[in-house]
Amino acid sequence: MKIYTSYFIPLFSLLLISCGSKEENKKEPETSNTIDLVKTVKDMQENRETLVHETPLTKEQFAAWLPETVLGMPLTSSTINMLPGIGSCGATYSVQNRRVRVMIIDGAGEKGNNAVSTYRMSSTMEYDEKGSWGSTKTTNINGIKVKESNLKNGKFNLSMFYDNRFAVDVETYEVGHEELEQLVKELNLGQLH
């Protein structure tokens, strides 16, 4: 059987046009999502290009920022710039079993930029998950977008990409949910410069 493409193409085009007009309103959110995704990817690329040319915080700058106490708990241990070429700081605050651990990675420079990439990506997402392990949701604490995980064992994990530069991870033990806002406030992340 011979098919005449000269008749088939215009007929198929007419079918697509008529179907497209009915589906137009349904596809609008999809187009909006695509535009949002393109903008997000562009913003992430611009952030990456900016951070590559920045200089990581020095050991002295991290030491000047490091809070002496958090939620009434003293600083019990800290490590600064443990990886070559990456500005980083880890600190533990504790009294008996009550404890807060903080880890910060500076996204400045080539190595730091690569080290914070998962935090950069995570900061563009919205979380609302529940499971046998606990729950994870996107929240806002003191004006900072935070990925907050509430684990069944009473721990909280806070993850954020602060100021489009710093990957911040906070892990708590025997700290109540109502204390998280005060905790983030006492970290004085705005002093990381």
d(CA 136, CA 186): 23
The pLDDT of residue 182: 96
Strands of the sheet containing 134-141, edge to edge, are 69-70, 73-80, 88-95, 98-106, 166-173, 156-162, 144-151, 134-141, 128-131
Instruction: Check residues 25 and 106 and name the one with the higher pLDDT.
Output: 106
Tens of pLDDT, residue by residue over 92-101, are: 999 999 999 9
The pLDDT tens digits for 4-30 are: 433 334 433 433 444 444 444 444 556
Residue 43 has pLDDT above 90, yes or no: no
Q: Which domains does the chain have, with CATH numbers?
A: 1-52 (no CATH), 59-191 (3.40.1000)
Q: What is the pLDDT of residue 29?
A: 59
The 10s digit of each residue's pLDDT in 111-127 is 999 999 999 999 999 99
pLDDT tops 50 at residue 51: yes
Contacts of 170 (CB under 8 A, 6+ apart): 100, 101, 102, 103, 156, 157, 158, 159, 183, 184, 187
What pLDDT score was predicted for residue 6? Answer: 39
**pLDDT score of 94:** 97
- The stretch 62-73 carries a mean pLDDT of 96
